Structure 1
Amino acid sequence: MAVEFGNSRLSALRIKGRQLARVVVISSALLAGQAAALAPEHETRRLMLAIEESVAAESWGEASEYLNRLQLLDAEKPADYHYYRGRVMLQSSHFNEAQAALETYVTSAGVEGSHYQSALKLITGIERARKEKALVTQVGDEARVAVIEPAGDKRTASLRKLYLADSDREALVLHLNSLLGVAGWRQDQAVVRLDRPADIEYRLSSSGNAISIQEIRRNSSGGVTRKTGQIPVFGVNPQVEWGCEQAVATCWVYDPRDGSRLFQLSSNRSQAEEIAQTLGRLIRELQAP
């Protein structure tokens, strides 16, 4: 019995010794891999080559993975990064993100960029796809507009009390203008002074079943240009989309009719989201019978 116990103990020690050896080998391999890690500029180029190969092979999931890894890398992104990001976003039908990325590429690479012509054609294709999508959406929504419930939720009621408004419509318009006044876009975002007007800002009003939007742009010399447009709400989807583009430090609220850019705002995501949601509630309120 003592001999068997000794043999068992010896076997256990041998097994532990093998396990420890494996741990040492694996740890050594990991440390060697860390020591051999590429510098950020070389890793950027390696990932760009992988992205180019994946897009050429139409391996969109793989290309998306490499793009995400490159986005997290603490290194300057080449102009082609935005082109390939636009291609991948377009493949997933994320039109807003695709257009923003392609426009960033065109701006940064210029006419000398190797993908300049292709990027312009893709942007045109996105516009056409938006128009087709908008037509389909409007046809599908026409039968449902009459049964959309008015925006009489508790939040809108609290806005009426806040602004001492006589109606939900008035409260939503006042709240939208308040939000837009704070979220205006500025060329210099390093120092934001609310006592100075933004370079781009908007004012809204409503009349009947339409929303009037005034865009105010200020240039560096102090000149001001104003442009006014209307959004008739009949047949419009009240789910208003929004998004932010870090490369240009800008958030966008998109036109619910065709997905084009409606508001150019500061890079504050929470403000952009609340503006889009409030605009959707206003559209729903105006559509109510």
Structure 2
Amino acid sequence: MSGRKLVAGLMLSSVLTVSTGMAYALAPEHEIRRLMLATEEAVAAESWSEAGEYLNRLRAMEGEKPAEYFYYRGRAMLQASHLNEARSALEQYITLAGAEGAYYQQSLKLITDIEKASRASIRALAEGQTNTEEPVAVIEPADGQDLKTLRTLYLADSDREALVIHLNTLLDTAGWRRDKTMVRLDRPADKQYQVALGSGNINIQDIERHPDGALVRKTRSLSVFGVNPQLRWDCEPVVGACWVYDPRDGSRLFQLADNRKQTQDIARTLGRLIRNLQQGSSGS
């Protein structure tokens, strides 16, 4: 009887180990490959819930994942209508796999489809709000502070001036860096932005530092009339970046460090500035 109990106990232990997933017989690199094959089959069969389950398990695993992981993640995110996350994953695939990647052409086409869908969403939102008077109170105060506090803080003569100074202060600390392992305050970020006001426009200066040390400055103009001042933003930890999106067409306006709070503050402050300019007052 004792021998039978021992065998039964061992069998029960094996069943529990497999069912709970607490132990793996395969080394991580082989388990990653197994899950990748399972994901590939699920995507081919358009079994998106199953594909999502495998992708979540892959994301939680340590070890380097093949470039195709990001392609499959992009496909799954697109099916779930998470357009920003889908685009980010597909761009990461292209960066890793290059033009020789098996899904290079498909990824480019999907990114174009995502861009079109984002623009259509922005247009639909704008059309839906054409006859709706949106109260200013919907926009939360910049960084949780009212405008009077900001004017005092920056010794500004007007709300508009205070918002511009505050926005540039936030942007100065939220620059995106290629090397995220070590952030040195004496080294500027690889992507930074500064804003200034024009005639009914917000002029945005993009400052990009290339790996070879070259510094490139470009200036874009954002017209504030007819756009939604409630700006969209999101973060994607997989690629270590956050984005604030252009209210005109849904494209990326700012690429920032992976910090949700900073990105939210920047989006809110820019929204307040847009609203201020739309009101057409002197900004006082």
TM-score tier, shorter chain, comes to 0.7 to 0.9
The answer to whether 1:253 aligns with 2:244 is yes
AA aligned to 2:191 is I
| RMSD over aligned Cα atoms | 2.6
The structure-2 alpha-carbon separation of the partners of 1:56 and 1:160, relative to structure 1 and needing over 3 Å to count, comes to same
2:116 is matched with: 128
SS of the residue 1:114 aligns to = coil
Aligned to 1:231, which of 222, 247, 250? 222
Give the deviation of 1:245 after TM superposition.
Answer: 2.9
| Counterpart Cα distance in 2 of 1:28 and 1:70 | 24
Is the Cα contact below 8 Å between 2:88 and 2:239 reproduced in 1?
A: no
Give the deviation of 1:108 after TM superposition.
Answer: 0.8
| Counterpart Cα distance in 1 of 2:23 and 2:83 | 41
2:35 is matched with: 47
Aligned to 2:130, which of 122, 142, 163? 142
SS of the residue 1:252 aligns to = strand
The structure-2 alpha-carbon separation of the partners of 1:205 and 1:31, relative to structure 1 and needing over 3 Å to count, comes to same
| Counterpart Cα distance in 2 of 1:36 and 1:156 | 55
Aligned to 1:160, which of 147, 151, 165? 151
| Counterpart Cα distance in 2 of 1:85 and 1:266 | 22
| Counterpart Cα distance in 1 of 2:157 and 2:24 | 68
SS of the residue 1:244 aligns to = strand
AA aligned to 2:15 is A
Is the Cα contact below 8 Å between 2:140 and 2:268 reproduced in 1?
A: no
AA aligned to 1:161 is T
Bigger fraction of residues in helix: 1
2:166 is matched with: 175
Gaps of 5+ in 2: 1-6
The answer to whether 1:287 aligns with 2:274 is no
User: Structure 2 length as normaliser, TM-score?
Assistant: 0.83
Give the deviation of 1:139 after TM superposition.
Answer: 1.8
Is the Cα contact below 8 Å between 1:152 and 1:168 reproduced in 2?
A: no
Identical-pair percentage: 57
Aligned to 1:267, which of 239, 252, 258? 258
2:44 is matched with: 56
| Counterpart Cα distance in 1 of 2:248 and 2:8 | 62
| Counterpart Cα distance in 2 of 1:205 and 1:175 | 12
Give the deviation of 1:220 after TM superposition.
Answer: 4.0
| Counterpart Cα distance in 2 of 1:36 and 1:198 | 41
The structure-2 alpha-carbon separation of the partners of 1:49 and 1:171, relative to structure 1 and needing over 3 Å to count, comes to same
The structure-2 alpha-carbon separation of the partners of 1:67 and 1:27, relative to structure 1 and needing over 3 Å to count, comes to same
| Counterpart Cα distance in 1 of 2:130 and 2:201 | 16
Is the Cα contact below 8 Å between 1:141 and 1:236 reproduced in 2?
A: no
Give the deviation of 1:281 after TM superposition.
Answer: 2.3
Q: Deviations over 1:172-194 (max 9, x none)?
A: 21111001111112233333233
SS of the residue 1:248 aligns to = coil
- Number of residue-to-residue matches in the alignment: 268
| Counterpart Cα distance in 2 of 1:35 and 1:199 | 42
| Counterpart Cα distance in 1 of 2:272 and 2:117 | 26
User: Structure 1 length as normaliser, TM-score?
Assistant: 0.82
| Counterpart Cα distance in 2 of 1:32 and 1:170 | 63
